[in-house]
């Protein structure tokens, strides 16, 4: 799809206006991050179709190199499907500690430009460079410099999107991948959104896309035609957000101290499980992993949720909220096992189980910065 409302040239960068003053937001996204790290560290993988993940029959692709993507391989695809699409696909086991170390190098580069950094994952982040530490007036030049430094320090390539809000910066970062950048200006933002298919909107998943389609909403222009009352009625709390982004408006701030809302772990089994007691036993290592993270970061939570994914890839979730935060791993495990018993007998055999603790409470004496940056890497 050709989108005429996008400016790609650096000289057409966001201008700093005095009234009203526009924000300058950059979204940096590492290109095929996990797979690119593996290709960097193993020359034999360069130029080859690579998938990070398990190659076993029940494995799932965590990341795919661009060579693999030309065959239709993508993240979250079952490994057997990926191998069928690309018979020469090379599977590499993930090395999350390495990915975390590289991510830390990249964030150090970001910090030279602004303290307003909101990491979304190991491989992407928002930066607010409206008032940056280098007093650089042009956001596109900042993005270009950051991408050049990432390449020099890590040997990896990144793409970037530049705009006046988070939603459009995120959308722009996908326009010129890999190893490119694009800017969506305040002048062109609304027209860009109008022409955009709903399925390409960041934050609008397949289920919401289908719901919108039922109401005749297939493009940004369709979404813009709906009233705020209509969107609130049919999409609840997301209604005002959809109403805003349909007009190129997104007032969300870049939050460097974004609080983790939940801590979770899950596991896909080598063989499907039909027995309740066996399934309960599989919850223990998950609860232990979650609680270990909670202890390290001096947090707890009041809600336990289990996820059950069946052999047909459909899933069910069950939650329990208590009045006081959980104080020990066995309490979390007991709650999870009770919830699991509530979905037995299973509608089909179980291929995956997950345990999540949410409604988190934080110890105010804990190291805030350390707590925010840790990631389970699951």
Strand residues in the chain grouped as ranges (E): 25-30, 50-53, 61-64, 90-92, 117-121, 124-128, 158-163, 181-183, 262-273, 299-310, 315-321, 350-362
Which residue(s) pair with 11 in the sheet? none
| Contact call for residues 92 and 50 (beta carbons, < 8 A) | yes
Residue 223 and residue 198 in contact, taking contact as beta carbons nearer than 8 Å:
yes
Cα 356 from Cα 287, distance rounded (Å):
8
> Encoding tokens for residue 82?
């990926």
Helix, coil or strand: residue 13: coil
Q: How far is CA 37 from CA 95, 126, 182, 285, in A?
A: 9, 21, 24, 29
| Interior/surface letters 65-90, b for 16+ CB within 10 angstroms, e for the rest | bbbbbebebebebbbeebbeebeebb
Question: Is 124 an active-site residue?
Answer: yes
What CA–CA distance (Å, rounded) separates 226 from 246?
A: 9
What is the C-alpha to C-alpha distance for residues 268 and 61, in angstroms, rounded to an integer?
12
C-alpha distances out from residue 305 to 269, 337, 357, Å: 19, 10, 6
Catalytic residue among 118, 124, 210, 266: 124
Contact in structure between 268 and 352 (CB atoms under 8 Å): yes
Give catalytic residues, as residue numbers: 124
């Amino acid at each position: 799809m050709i989108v005429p409302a996008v400016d790609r040239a650096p000289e057409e960068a966001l201008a700093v206006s005095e009234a009203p003053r526009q924000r300058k937001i950059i979204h940096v996204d590492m290109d095929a991050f996990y797979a690119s790290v593996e290709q960097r560290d193993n020359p034999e993988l360069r130029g080859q179709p690579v998938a990070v993940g398990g190659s076993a029959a029940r494995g799932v692709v965590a990341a795919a190199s661009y060579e693999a993507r030309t065959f239709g391989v993508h993240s979250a695809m079952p490994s057997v499907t990926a191998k069928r699409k690309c018979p020469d696909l090379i599977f590499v086991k993930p090395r999350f500690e390495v990915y975390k170390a590289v991510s830390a190098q990249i964030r150090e580069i970001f910090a030279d430009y602004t303290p307003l950094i909101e990491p979304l994952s190991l491989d992407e982040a928002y930066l607010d460079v409206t008032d940056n530490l280098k007093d650089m007036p042009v956001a596109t030049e900042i993005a270009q410099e950051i991408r050049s430094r990432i390449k020099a320090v890590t040997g990896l390539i990144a793409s970037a999107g530049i705009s006046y809000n988070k939603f459009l910066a995120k959308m722009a970062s996908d326009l010129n991948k890999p190893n490119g950048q694009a800017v969506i200006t305040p002048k062109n933002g609304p027209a860009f959104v109008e022409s955009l298919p709903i399925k390409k909107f960041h934050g609008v998943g397949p289920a919401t896309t289908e719901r919108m389609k039922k109401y005749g909403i297939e493009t940004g222009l369709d979404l813009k035609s709906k009233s705020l009352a209509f969107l609130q009625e049919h999409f609840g709390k997301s209604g005002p957000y959809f109403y805003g982004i349909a007009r190129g408006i997104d007032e969300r701030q870049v939050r460097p101290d974004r609080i983790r809302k939940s801590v979770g772990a899950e596991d896909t089994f080598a063989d499907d499980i039909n027995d309740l007691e066996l399934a309960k036993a599989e919850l223990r290592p998950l609860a232990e992993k979650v609680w270990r993270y909670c202890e390290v970061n001096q947090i707890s939570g009041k809600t336990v949720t289990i996820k059950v994914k069946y052999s047909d890839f459909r899933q069910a979730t069950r939650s329990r909220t208590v009045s006081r935060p959980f104080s020990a791993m066995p309490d979390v495990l007991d709650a999870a096992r009770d919830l699991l018993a509530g979905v037995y007998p299973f509608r089909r055999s179980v291929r995956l189980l997950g345990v999540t603790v949410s409604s988190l409470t934080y110890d105010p004496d804990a190291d805030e910065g350390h707590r925010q940056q840790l990631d389970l890497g699951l």
